A and B are shown apart, each in its own frame.
Chain A
């Protein structure tokens, strides 16, 4: 079985995001970029499936500008077999991403797609769901455990208030949650091999997919700084404040 795994290049999660002075976005000039952490987990899961003999090929996919190649090299150094780089300078919205991936799924014919549950830049948590819908495949989002059994993926999902277990018919789309696994470091032998592994570059226009934005970015701003807390004397006062000041109940 072939597994398609996505990996997005995002601001390094350990770098403090700073909003551009003109409010048009987050400053990404000269800051450290890294693979989206949930995608690292997705790749790790795919590698474990291959090690367990359940898969024989892992294709890492990313959509982005020239530098995205570095993120794909990381995926190859972790253990993916080959990479597809869909080249674009534009920011692609989740629906556009899902359409691009659908087109790749049609040409690659994987038995499974594993994605991160969200990318830590936009935090949209949409691309996996949209891809499954476009393909008409089953979807397992926010998964914390996966067992493949023939044509079935038995998954555990982290949902509000507990864990949900589902049996999905394959092929399907899975999105990883934080607790699915702990991703490995790239190994030295794999780092040395990564350069020799194939990386297919596809200009986004050649896919014949409409990725035009549906949304307009109005502005980006820093979250308001956290104000100091207050002490309340009684439960009544607390309830009163929650109702009338915070207006949350």
Chain B
């Protein structure tokens, strides 16, 4: 066992860290206030990311990506997570589900995404189907050679800047011993497809400037060639490729928690009340001790989950543990960092109120904390027949 980073990993971490410090931190506050990312800023982050060869670093080298394994990519996400999601989105990491592209899809979707010419978004959630993905109502019926889609999706991240949306749609029902079950298919939907609209979503308290959208399908015709993977194979392709996205949330949460902590530690050494640094009061110092302990634990859980994926070991429970612990640690840490800054912690002159707001969504998206605990406990109890 070796808990150290290799020289390459250290260089990757250092490079992404300098990138976010120089190219993203200076713009975070203004993007948070404006609630949107200026076009030129997005373009410049994209260009700089491409210049240093980090664009699509998560995609295999065979398609022109950076070829990072799960562990190395998790280190990248951890460093990016220190920074605003509205902005680090332009440090392009296309969804690796695009590796399932076949035939003409490869030149139309996969390669342009890897080159940074086309942006993807990914849509599962609906107003009536959140945690229960299979409960989706957005459905497609075969008409001639085409699938005709009706329904809607919501909370679809960054669809406002997407050129196409990888969308999961119900394509029928099957009888199972436990009753009827929806069959799900994954489709590639171009932004300008007739009958398909990307509409503004809601204003979220977290990650202002990183927008979410509502998708509307009204008799939208999709040829069979738009199917990604197999017909009715939506869950298979989801399980194959989207299994690890929870690790991204965990890694980003670790990065942001550590940044908040690193900004708070020196404050506790310098801020004096009652004639001494507040860090000398045990009431403060023990909070620092608890924070770093939880952050390190979340960090190791996350990296271990990534390592398991690279080893081909079962990782579902471990990734769920990482996600739940990292996101809940982030919530505690950002709250404590505000507390230790006293009144100033609440003010938008300092970044802590933003970190605290941004932290809130991490326990909800990509599977809520409850769903992660469900996954963990089922993994423990199922083998016992309970």
Which A positions have Cβ atoms within 8 angstroms of B?
16, 69-70, 73-74, 77, 184-192, 194-195
* B52 at interface by CB-CB < 8 Å: yes
B53-A74 in contact (CB<8A): no
B7-A186 in contact (CB<8A): no
A185-B8 in contact (CB<8A): no
Complex CA distance for A69 and B10, rounded to whole angstroms: 12
Stretch at the interface among B11-19, B137-145, B241-249, B303-311: B11-19
- Which of A16, A73, A191, A194 counts the most chain B CB atoms within 10 A? A191
Total interface residues on B, CB under 8 Å, equals 18
Q: A188-B66, A194-B7, A194-B8 are in contact. Are A74 and B54 (CB under 8 A)?
A: no
* B215 at interface by CB-CB < 8 Å: no
Q: A188-B57, A188-B66 are in contact. Are A194 and B11 (CB under 8 A)?
A: yes
Which B53-83 residues have a C-beta within 8 angstroms of A?
A: 53-54, 57, 66-68
Contact of A74 among B11, B51, B66 (CB under 8 A): B11
Contacts of B12 in A (CB 8 A): 188, 191
Complex CA distance for A70 and B68, rounded to whole angstroms: 21
Q: How far is the CB of A43 from chain B (nearest CB, A)?
A: 14
5 contacts between A and B (CB under 8 A): A74-B11, A184-B51, A186-B11, A188-B12, A191-B15
Interface of B: prevailing SS? helix
Contacts of A191 in B (CB 8 A): 8, 11-12, 15
Q: How far is the CB of B153 from chain A (nearest CB, A)?
A: 33
Contacts of A189 in B (CB 8 A): 53, 66
Contacts of B57 in A (CB 8 A): 188
Contacts of B18 in A (CB 8 A): 185
Q: A186-B52, A187-B52, A188-B54 are in contact. Are A70 and B8 (CB under 8 A)?
A: no
Contacts of B11 in A (CB 8 A): 73-74, 77, 186, 191, 194
Q: Which residue of B lies closest to A193 (CB)?
A: B8
Which B294-344 residues have a C-beta within 8 angstroms of A?
A: none
Q: Which residue of A lies closest to B66 (CB)?
A: A188
Q: Which residue of B lies closest to A14 (CB)?
A: B21
Q: Which residue of B lies closest to A186 (CB)?
A: B15
Contacts of B19 in A (CB 8 A): 185
Contacts of A69 in B (CB 8 A): 7
Complex CA distance for A26 and B67, rounded to whole angstroms: 41
Complex CA distance for A87 and B11, rounded to whole angstroms: 21
Q: Which residue of B lies closest to A32 (CB)?
A: B14
Complex CA distance for A141 and B14, rounded to whole angstroms: 29
Closest 3 CB pairs of A and B: A188-B53, A187-B53, A187-B52
Q: How far is the CB of B17 from chain A (nearest CB, A)?
A: 10
- Which of B8, B12, B54, B266 counts the most chain A CB atoms within 10 A? B8
Q: How far is the CB of A68 from chain B (nearest CB, A)?
A: 12
Complex CA distance for A184 and B52, rounded to whole angstroms: 8
Q: How far is the CB of B150 from chain A (nearest CB, A)?
A: 43
Contact of B52 among A70, A73, A188, A194 (CB under 8 A): A188
Q: A73-B11, A191-B8 are in contact. List 15 more A-B contacts (CB 8 A).
A: A70-B7, A74-B11, A74-B14, A77-B15, A185-B15, A185-B52, A186-B11, A186-B15, A186-B52, A187-B52, A187-B54, A188-B53, A188-B66, A192-B67, A195-B7
Which B1-48 residues have a C-beta within 8 angstroms of A?
A: 7-8, 10-12, 14-15, 18-19
